[in-house]
A and B are shown apart, each in its own frame.
Chain A
Amino acid sequence: MKNEWLYTISAKKKLIDFNFKEIWQYRDLLLLFVKRDVITVYKQTVLGPLWYVIQPLFTTVIFTLVFNTIANIDTGGIPPFLFNLAGVVSWNYFKECLTGTADTFKKNQAVFGKVYFPRVVMPLSIVLSNLIKFGIQLAIFVAFYLYFVFQGSSVRPNLYALFFPVIVIVMALLGLGLGMIISSMVTKYRDLSFLLNFGVQLLMYVSLVTLPYSLFANNGFAWAVDYNPMAYVIEFSRFVLLGEGTTSMFGVVYTLCFAAGVFLLGVLVFNKTEKSFIDTI
């Protein structure tokens, strides 16, 4: 009789050990996690899924009041509300992906400590369930967009909007990659999870979510925007959605490379961690 082993559990770790077949076997689990994340967030609330819509709207109204009405920041001819809403909706997707995946190991240690399934299913499910939220929020953006178009605003739909899905994928890769790196590091030293909150807030301001690039162009912080892939992502999304904003070939290449690099690094680090993180968490 031949000794054909199905698989081996060993101490040695391969650098890249991404078992796509196994992840495919657990696709039902992935979908169930997505379903769980989507339906349980607003259980026992009166407004239910409406909160998905209300949250970004409130944020946008506040930003518009503070930055545009009070601080009087010029948005370059685009209605400030639409300018902010486009930024907020895109930023939210990235932020939720990042913060959601960043505590994968910490939040799920009870389940991870008892049962084995490919750990990467968890962050993937977060990215997917956020995609559903993002879709709903995008629909709201489109509604307001049409409203402003009919009001005779200067924004016009353009063909570049076809590139929008690429931008979404880039955001997902960035959020997922960074989140996986952070979640892996948090398993041993928890300091990082405290820094994450501040970091995300700071990153929002230099990612042009509410502020136009012109504000940064002539002061010492221009580098923080120039080397920030999220600034490009937000600016691109505004460009394809509203037809305004600065773009450059360098920005496109830089952002794509950065996203791919971060994602690959995240996969590597996550892979290395998932095997025995349960001993150190």
Chain B
Amino acid sequence: MKDIILKVENISKQYRLGTIGTGTISHDLNRWWHRMRGKEDPYLKIGETNDRATKGKSQYAWALKDISFEVERGEVLGIIGKNGAGKSTLLKILSKVTGPTTGEIKTKGRIASLLEVGTGFHPEMTGKENVFLNGAILGMTKAEINSKLYEIIEFSGCQRYIDTPVKRYSSGMKVRLAFAVAAFLEPDILVVDEVLAVGDAEFQKKAIGKMQDISKGDGRTVLFVSHNMAAVKDLCTRGVVLVDGKIDFQGNVDSCIDFYLKNEKAQKIYNKKGHCNSNYVARVFITDDLGDEVERAIQRSEKIYLNFELYINDATDVYFGSTLLSNLNDPIISLPFDNKFINTGFVHIKILLPTKNLKGGEYFVEAALWNKGEVFDRKDDFISFVIIGDTVIEKSGENIKGYLISDEVWKIKSI
């Protein structure tokens, strides 16, 4: 028998675009007039779906539309989606910061949220005073905080400063202290939004470890939102993919991440109109074997080309070179170019990407166009692309080390 702790039914949320001013009063009056006569809100019908990039006609947009899902007790649910897909709005509704426009959420436990830590700190108060205040804001009682005070301070690593006003803290220390308070919350359902992107590497590790303790060790129900696919994969058991305010996919976490990466527009074409008496990079794009442009995530087995269109005004001593960078900006492979092929005018050059040697993840293309005295064009993120990791190890959910995968195979011999 499934023990459903949280049930979300047809949640929708409408937002009004633009600014609030004299113009919006007429809408408010109209809405009020409809309500007085017992009619439906006239503006609820006209919202458009929430595709951020296209300009819409309507003044209203649905940040969320008919969201329904269930969460079992002890489950860690990952909520995945692009910027503006509605993840944060959903978490805000779940944590009662704002109400839904329509729909209902039923829950069997107390929900506490860990959205952007550190709000509610008062700069004039000491660290310890702020621990109490922040804990109380998050829903703890004074007695609860008192019993965990030592652990919280210990975890934050701010012992020396604990009786100093928070305004004297470095920003990192503030975040550490705030996360420490939040980490010791004990609600039935914990809502976490992007908090792992804070603090230094040591603290991040500590924070992720704590998150794992909470979800795996204590068996708490957690809703987790992050862009960090590795963290999602690590922590979550099930996932929901949001696209433009709707649930496009739900299922176990691996199939969710696959779905997300496949449908994400992973590449954006670089396009620039430069000046005709200069040398510049005009276009950067990625094509498949047939020469069609590719904007989705790439399978390692595919033949994919990286294309550059260069405009060359003066070809004397011009060099061109490109490098693949990891998402942490580490150079991985150099793609050198022989300058004797450069002529004036538009030049189209392409190179086969070593896709079968790259592990899953996002890569950036750095390129430069220069001669001995001058750099004409240089950028370390002309475009990026995403490789879907499909090695046995990656499929099992583990991280593999390094960036390159050898295409040699192990030779096995029984001895």
**Residue ranges of A at the interface with B (Cβ–Cβ < 8 Å):** 1, 3-11, 13, 25-26, 28-29, 31-33, 36, 39-40, 43-44, 110-117, 188-189, 275-276, 278-280
Known: A6-B109, A36-B125, A115-B137. A1 touches B3 (CB 8 A): yes
Q: Which residues of B contact A31 (CB under 8 A)?
A: 142
0/1 interface trace, chain B 1-13, chain A, CB 8 Å (1 if under): 1011001000000
Known: A6-B109, A40-B125. A28 touches B136 (CB 8 A): yes
- The number of A-B residue pairs with CB atoms under 8 Å apart is 110
0/1 interface trace, chain B 93-114, chain A, CB 8 Å (1 if under): 1111111111111111110010
28 contacts between A and B (CB under 8 A): A6-B108, A6-B109, A7-B107, A8-B104, A9-B100, A9-B107, A11-B101, A13-B99, A26-B136, A28-B136, A29-B136, A32-B136, A33-B133, A36-B125, A36-B133, A40-B122, A40-B125, A43-B165, A44-B124, A111-B137, A113-B97, A114-B116, A115-B120, A115-B137, A116-B95, A116-B97, A188-B24, A189-B20
Q: Which residues of B contact A113 (CB under 8 A)?
A: 92, 97, 119
CB distance from A128 to the nearest CB of B (A): 15
Q: Which residues of B contact A188 (CB under 8 A)?
A: 20, 24, 28
Chain B residue nearest to A187 (CB atoms) is: B20
The one of B25, B96, B99, B139 that contacts A11, using a Cβ cutoff of 8 Å: B99
Q: Which residues of B contact A6 (CB under 8 A)?
A: 107-110
Q: A9-B106, A29-B137 are in contact. List 9 more A-B contacts (CB 8 A).
A: A5-B7, A5-B106, A6-B108, A6-B110, A8-B107, A13-B99, A115-B113, A115-B120, A116-B113
Question: Quick check: is B115 within 8 A (CB to CB) of the other chain?
Answer: yes
Q: Which residues of B contact A279 (CB under 8 A)?
A: 15-16, 98
Known: A26-B136, A112-B97. A11 touches B104 (CB 8 A): yes
Known: A11-B102, A29-B137, A32-B136. A5 touches B108 (CB 8 A): yes
Chain B residue nearest to A13 (CB atoms) is: B99
Q: Which residues of B contact A29 (CB under 8 A)?
A: 136-137
B106 touches A115 (CB 8 A): no
Question: Quick check: is B138 within 8 A (CB to CB) of the other chain?
Answer: yes
A111 touches B119 (CB 8 A): yes
Question: Quick check: is B141 within 8 A (CB to CB) of the other chain?
Answer: yes
A114 touches B119 (CB 8 A): yes
Chain B residue nearest to A274 (CB atoms) is: B99
**Residue ranges of B at the interface with A (Cβ–Cβ < 8 Å):** 1, 3-4, 7, 15-16, 20, 24-25, 28, 92-110, 113, 115-116, 119-120, 122, 124-125, 129, 132-133, 136-142, 165
8 nearest CB pairs, A to B = A116-B96, A29-B136, A9-B105, A275-B99, A28-B142, A5-B106, A10-B104, A43-B124
CB distance from A194 to the nearest CB of B (A): 15
CB distance from B21 to the nearest CB of A (A): 9
Chain A residue nearest to B3 (CB atoms) is: A1
Q: How long is the Cα–Cα vector from A188 to B102 in the complex, in angstroms? A: 21
Most buried by A among B16, B115, B133, B165: B133
A115 touches B124 (CB 8 A): no
Q: How long is the Cα–Cα vector from A28 to B141 in the complex, in angstroms? A: 6
Chain A residue nearest to B115 (CB atoms) is: A114
Most buried by A among B28, B99, B140: B99
Q: Which residues of B contact A43 (CB under 8 A)?
A: 124, 165
CB distance from B117 to the nearest CB of A (A): 9
Q: Which residues of A contact B139 (CB under 8 A)?
A: 26, 117
A32 touches B132 (CB 8 A): yes
A276 touches B119 (CB 8 A): no
The one of A9, A26, A28, A39 that contacts B93, using a Cβ cutoff of 8 Å: A9
The one of B110, B113, B132, B140 that contacts A114, using a Cβ cutoff of 8 Å: B113
Q: Which residues of B contact A111 (CB under 8 A)?
A: 119-120, 137
Q: Which residues of A contact B107 (CB under 8 A)?
A: 5-9
Q: How long is the Cα–Cα vector from A3 to B125 in the complex, in angstroms? A: 44
CB distance from A99 to the nearest CB of B (A): 20
Q: How long is the Cα–Cα vector from A188 to B25 in the complex, in angstroms? A: 10
Q: Which residues of B contact A25 (CB under 8 A)?
A: 141
B15 touches A117 (CB 8 A): no
Q: How long is the Cα–Cα vector from A99 to B408 in the complex, in angstroms? A: 74
Q: How long is the Cα–Cα vector from A114 to B117 in the complex, in angstroms? A: 9
Q: How long is the Cα–Cα vector from A10 to B109 in the complex, in angstroms? A: 16
Q: Which residues of A contact B98 (CB under 8 A)?
A: 275-276, 278-279
Q: How long is the Cα–Cα vector from A25 to B143 in the complex, in angstroms? A: 12
CB distance from A39 to the nearest CB of B (A): 7
Chain B residue nearest to A42 (CB atoms) is: B124
Q: Which residues of A contact B20 (CB under 8 A)?
A: 188-189, 280
Q: Which residues of A contact B125 (CB under 8 A)?
A: 36, 39-40
